[in-house]
Amino acid sequence: MRRTLALLVAAACLLRATPARGEPNDVNLFFLGPPTPGAWQTLFPSLTPAEAVQNAADSRQRFALLSTQMGLGLSSMLLTPASTVGHSGFEFGFDFAYVPVTSPSTGSVPAASPFQTGIWPVRGASPNALLLPAFHVRKALPFSLEIGGRAIYLTESTMVATQVELKWAISEGFRYIPDVALRGAVTYLFGIPQWDLSTAEAGAIVSKRFGVGGVMSLTPYGAVRMTWLSAKSESMDYRLASTPAPAPNTVGATVAAFPGLHVNALRYTLGLRMVAAALTLSAEATYYPGQTVTGSSAPDAYPTFKVPSSIIGGANLGFGF
């Protein structure tokens, strides 16, 4: 199991180091615009100080909405009940998530600017949904513990994410008592070197297995999960080809980075799992009620922004041993 997880992480690192191939869903944070007023005024001297402050706040809001939707989408899949795969069990499978996203226009930019007002700075059209296939492995440990890992791919992009999860089944295998487990997971995005995006989550799962005809079983499950999302960017130079050569006192004025973003989100999952011999099939829906994230008017802070509600669908085809 350790070797399998190591291979997943190594593969993701290699993909991160691979030059971009220019896929339609590849994100380029540059086109969100610089997050600092000074960069806007250096690039467009005709802007008033108030306009530069507003443009920078709009850029930070676009980054916040993009990061929140992407992070919650990548970490959305559960697709396991509260029970483990057994003391010496092992399971691998192929997961899939359908993640609806929104692409609102936020703020405004100067007419001569290459920057955009949409929150999805991709090479192709702004997506209405993210399609996320994944490879998932689970391995039981002693004391009703289970460790797992996912390699998640965003279709039509060079972006992948890795997830490591740990589950502890507090109650498992009793005839009349539902299975109950605690689960934690960490997810990290690779593929965009300038984008540092990760989530950590903790939650509880409740499920109950029912035999059907002596040949298969059905396990409905539900979960409540709290997710902590973190995002920031590396420094980028927003200087344009038309920007005059910098004066000595403005060298580096167009270099800026999106500051650290932290969002907490509560999500609810309902699913059904079918097991027949070694074959497992699962389907689930994860509901996120949306929220308004309170910001600040400080020059380097994120403004208040609203994350829309969503229902994310997931499915799994797996094999257990």
Kindly report, residue by residue over 77-101, the tens digit of the pLDDT: 999 999 998 766 899 999 999 999 9
- In this model, does residue 3 exceed pLDDT 60? no
2 band by pLDDT with thresholds 50, 70 and 90: very low
Closest CA to 148 of 175, 120, 187, 176: 187
10 band by pLDDT with thresholds 50, 70 and 90: very low
pLDDT at 248: 58
- In this model, does residue 31 exceed pLDDT 70? yes
Residue 126 contacts residue 118 (beta carbons within 8 Å)? yes
pLDDT at 244: 62
DSSP 8-state symbol, 215 = T
pLDDT at 86: 77
- Residue 73 host element (H or E): helix 49-74
DSSP 8-state symbol, 118 = B
- In this model, does residue 104 exceed pLDDT 50? yes
- In this model, does residue 56 exceed pLDDT 90? yes
- In this model, does residue 68 exceed pLDDT 50? yes
pTM: 0.89
Closest CA to 239 of 224, 230, 249, 252: 252
- In this model, does residue 12 exceed pLDDT 70? no
* Residues 66, 312: Cα–Cα separation, whole Å: 16
Q: What is the CA radius of gyration of the chain?
A: 22
Adjacent-strand bridge partners of 271: 221, 284
- In this model, does residue 297 exceed pLDDT 90? no
240 band by pLDDT with thresholds 50, 70 and 90: confident
pLDDT digits (tens, 9 = 90+) for 182-235: 999 999 999 999 999 999 999 999 999 999 987 899 999 999 999 999 999 999
Residue 296 contacts residue 302 (beta carbons within 8 Å)? yes
| Dihedral pair phi/psi, residue 110, rounded to 5° | -60, 150
Task: Give the three-class secondary structure for 171.
Answer: strand
- In this model, does residue 287 exceed pLDDT 90? yes
16 band by pLDDT with thresholds 50, 70 and 90: very low
| pLDDT, averaged across the chain | 90
Between residues 199 and 296, the one the model is more confident about: 199
- In this model, does residue 20 exceed pLDDT 60? no
Task: Give the three-class secondary structure for 296.
Answer: coil
pLDDT at 21: 52
pLDDT at 245: 61
Adjacent-strand bridge partners of 319: 92, 279
Mean pLDDT of 167-193: 94
- In this model, does residue 18 exceed pLDDT 90? no
Mean pLDDT of 19-40: 87
Q: Chain-centre distance of CA 282, in angstroms? A: 21
- In this model, does residue 241 exceed pLDDT 90? no
